[in-house]
Chains A and B, each alone.
Chain A
Amino acid sequence: MDSREALYVGVDSDGGVLKRPMSPHLDVYRFRLSMALSIANRISGVLSAGGFGLAVMWLGALASGPKSFGRARCLSHSLAGRAVTAGWLVATVYHLVGGVRHLIWDDVHRFEKSEINRDGRTSLIVTGGISAVLTGALCVLGGARARKARRTALKTAK
């Protein structure tokens, strides 16, 4: 008798009690990168959806007028806003890279253990690279344009 069997009590379509088959559990496996990347695809998808919700709210603020857009920009340009934006971008880029891997798997390719391990590492490097370039460019471009706008505003004020 295994105490874990208590977790395998299920209900069939008639409402009767049945014992579910015991499947190999996560804690019997040694940690592999692929299992972390697998759940990361799901988590990044959920985070990306949350960030997208905020992005649509930003669009709504833009459409509502200069006042609400000013408030939205205040939030998005704050330190917390930048952190959330960067996190959203990283999650979305990883989800996209993971999605490409899933499409390849759907076509029954790259299923060998060595391929899965190699592709997993590659997907992390690709995600890190694209995210770094994207957030870096966003910071540099956004900062430079905002500074320029402030200078012109100062000049016209004089």
Chain B
Amino acid sequence: MKKRWICLFVENETGVLARISGIFSGKSYNLDSLTVGITEDKTISRMTISLTSDDKTFEQIKKQLGRSVEVIKVVDFADIAVHMKELMFVRVNHCSDREVDEIFKISKTFHASVIDYSPATVLIESIQTENRNNALIFLLEKCYANRIEIVRGGSVAIEALSIPKGTL
């Protein structure tokens, strides 16, 4: 089992998201995250999907997506360099003054930013790779157990210009 990313260009039509997510649920494929948004061509939407699967299932997933009429193109990010980022918000509740200070430090270290706070609550915005966001959560959960709320947006990705392979 391996983590993988693919990008889909799909028709920007009603029901396409249901069609794509239906392929995953109907065939018992494991979907970790899915983001979708309109592209510069208003008739096309672009999806970034992250999933976990073995090699054989992954081949089948790409084929199943590719044979959908609504899918214009499937791009496997395993073979190409991409820029990939995920937007995440984390709210930490019931903080003491000392903890608030500490959260500011943590944010700085993790290249995240505190974008809002009230006396006892801090709101962090982190635009990082999924792994970096995981690391931030790991730390925050350890320090502020049961006091954090997380909203994750799922990864978006685009092909890189400068390097041939790997994630930037």
Q: Do A and B associate with each other?
A: no
B residues near A, CB below 8 A?
Answer: none
